[in-house]
Chain A
């Protein structure tokens, strides 16, 4: 098989109205249109979705797990971003 295989696409499915698209897997297809059709046949045979996105896997830039600590550290010391950080005096309503 000397032929180049067709590109890899990542598939995202919106299960129902009101939910966000969620990554469900990947597939190979020569172009976006066929990727969509293949995704329908592969990932929504049981009405798992109302909308599909396909994205060329090569277009995704990912952070690396090796850098996880350093990359996400800036968020670690900002507990004041969470509402539970604040003391609310007794008797305050609607806060």
Chain B
């Protein structure tokens, strides 16, 4: 369905990011095949046992012993990731009713449905750590847990749907591909699933932008405007610079995180430059240039003060996103209640039948 006429060759299956997801999946199977390590020996120190499993690149599974801080870090990270997928449905959902053709509408619907699915895979992974999903939903609704700040920006035109797919989903994939090798088994497996599906998202966005950029001058301008607005917020998705990142070192040691924020950001920039050229669009950074010595692009950092403001709740759409989520949850209550009542009635009837 998706031609490769515009996709850069290194992005095809077997190479590039999808190839890395497949490699991570193979590594998961391989680690499983190597796994001879049982639980800790009766006299073994639990911390040492845990470190041993991590060092051997084996996965920690739900019923294994793990340090409380590892469990807490994972719950926080996986939950915020799940919340991001759920809130992330809104900016694009905004365009489902106004997609320019039935085909685009069907694709966008499928994509937004995928985001809901990703949220659910992730909530399920978090639940294996002993937290309940309704607790997590409550933390989101009460604003006590965050979601990715990128979703607090508005989608002003149809081209924004393209820019989100290409840049936002692209940045998400760069962030998430290393998570396929995360030391916690259920999270790694959920991420493999998510990444495979995300690659469709990124390509559909790229295709939208490619079509617009090769359309009328007005369409080209609309595509350029979307890229201008989404570029820096996408760079900010990788989080604060390494020097200011609070959770990084411990997460790296636990093999939850595999690369630093700045490493991933650089990787994303290096990928986007050539993709932008093929689109015929300009990345809004006059200082973007190849650095022969570093073998990477020099680029302007995003405004981290703005990132902090948006994280703290002061982005263009924070309030709207939260209000929408609360309303959707409250208005869906009767469905949950009706389904529960029906299940209870059926269970009751079943009991009577057995008794009779």
A residues in contact (CB < 8 Å) with B:
1, 3-6, 8, 25-31, 34, 41-42, 45-46, 62, 64-69, 72
Do A30 and B339 touch (CB < 8 A)?
A: yes
Could you tell me the distance in whole angstroms from the C-beta of B327 to the nearest C-beta in chain A?
15
Indicate whether A67 sits within 8 Å of B133 (C-beta atoms), given known contacts A8-B127, A30-B340, A31-B346. Answer: no
List B contacts of A29 (CB < 8 A). 339
How many CB-defined contacts (below 8 Å) exist between A and B? 65
List A contacts of B336 (CB < 8 A). 3, 6, 30
Do A66 and B137 touch (CB < 8 A)?
A: no
List B contacts of A64 (CB < 8 A). 39, 63
Indicate whether A28 sits within 8 Å of B39 (C-beta atoms), given known contacts A6-B340, A45-B113, A65-B61. Answer: no
Do A72 and B343 touch (CB < 8 A)?
A: no
B residues in contact (CB < 8 Å) with A:
38-41, 61, 63-65, 110, 113-114, 117, 120-121, 124, 127, 132-134, 137-138, 190, 197, 336-337, 339-340, 342-343, 346-347
Q: Which of A29, A64, A66 has the most chain B CB within a 10 Å cutoff?
A: A66
CA gap between A34 and B40 in the complex, in Å:
40
List A contacts of B113 (CB < 8 A). 41, 45
Do B63 and A62 touch (CB < 8 A)?
A: yes
List B contacts of A28 (CB < 8 A). 133
Do B133 and A69 touch (CB < 8 A)?
A: no
CA gap between A6 and B137 in the complex, in Å:
14
Of B41, B124, B133, the residue contacting A5 (CB under 8 A) is B133
Do B39 and A6 touch (CB < 8 A)?
A: no
List B contacts of A62 (CB < 8 A). 63
Indicate whether A42 sits within 8 Å of B117 (C-beta atoms), given known contacts A8-B127, A66-B40, A69-B41. Answer: yes
Do B117 and A30 touch (CB < 8 A)?
A: no
Do B63 and A30 touch (CB < 8 A)?
A: no
Indicate whether A68 sits within 8 Å of B38 (C-beta atoms), given known contacts A6-B336, A6-B339, A30-B343. Answer: yes
Do A45 and B134 touch (CB < 8 A)?
A: no
Interchain Cβ contacts under 8 Å between A and B, 9 examples: A1-B134, A5-B133, A6-B339, A6-B343, A25-B121, A42-B117, A65-B38, A66-B65, A68-B38
Q: Which of B40, B41, B120 has the most chain A CB within a 10 Å cutoff?
A: B120
Question: Which residue on chain B has the smallest CB distance to residue A72?
Answer: B38
Do A3 and B337 touch (CB < 8 A)?
A: yes
Of B38, B117, B343, the residue contacting A69 (CB under 8 A) is B38
List B contacts of A34 (CB < 8 A). 339, 343
List B contacts of A5 (CB < 8 A). 132-134
List A contacts of B137 (CB < 8 A). 1
Do A25 and B124 touch (CB < 8 A)?
A: yes
Of A4, A42, A66, A72, the residue contacting B120 (CB under 8 A) is A42
CA gap between A46 and B200 in the complex, in Å:
12
Could you tell me the distance in whole angstroms from the C-beta of B40 to the nearest C-beta in chain A?
7
Could you tell me the distance in whole angstroms from the C-beta of A5 to the nearest C-beta in chain B?
4
Do B124 and A69 touch (CB < 8 A)?
A: no
Do A31 and B342 touch (CB < 8 A)?
A: yes
List A contacts of B117 (CB < 8 A). 41-42, 45
Do A30 and B38 touch (CB < 8 A)?
A: no
Question: Which residue on chain B has the smallest CB distance to residue A8?
Answer: B127
Question: Which residue on chain B has the smallest CB distance to residue A4?
Answer: B340
Could you tell me the distance in whole angstroms from the C-beta of B50 to the nearest C-beta in chain A?
12
CA gap between A67 and B40 in the complex, in Å:
9
Could you tell me the distance in whole angstroms from the C-beta of B85 to the nearest C-beta in chain A?
13
Closest 7 CB pairs of A and B: A68-B38, A30-B343, A31-B343, A66-B39, A69-B38, A5-B134, A30-B339
CA gap between A27 and B132 in the complex, in Å:
12
List A contacts of B38 (CB < 8 A). 65, 68-69, 72
Of B39, B134, B190, B346, the residue contacting A67 (CB under 8 A) is B39
Could you tell me the distance in whole angstroms from the C-beta of A45 to the nearest C-beta in chain B?
7
Question: Which residue on chain A has the smallest CB distance to residue B110?
Answer: A45
Could you tell me the distance in whole angstroms from the C-beta of A90 to the nearest C-beta in chain B?
32
CA gap between A27 and B63 in the complex, in Å:
19
CA gap between A90 and B195 in the complex, in Å:
52
CA gap between A65 and B39 in the complex, in Å:
5
Could you tell me the distance in whole angstroms from the C-beta of A32 to the nearest C-beta in chain B?
9
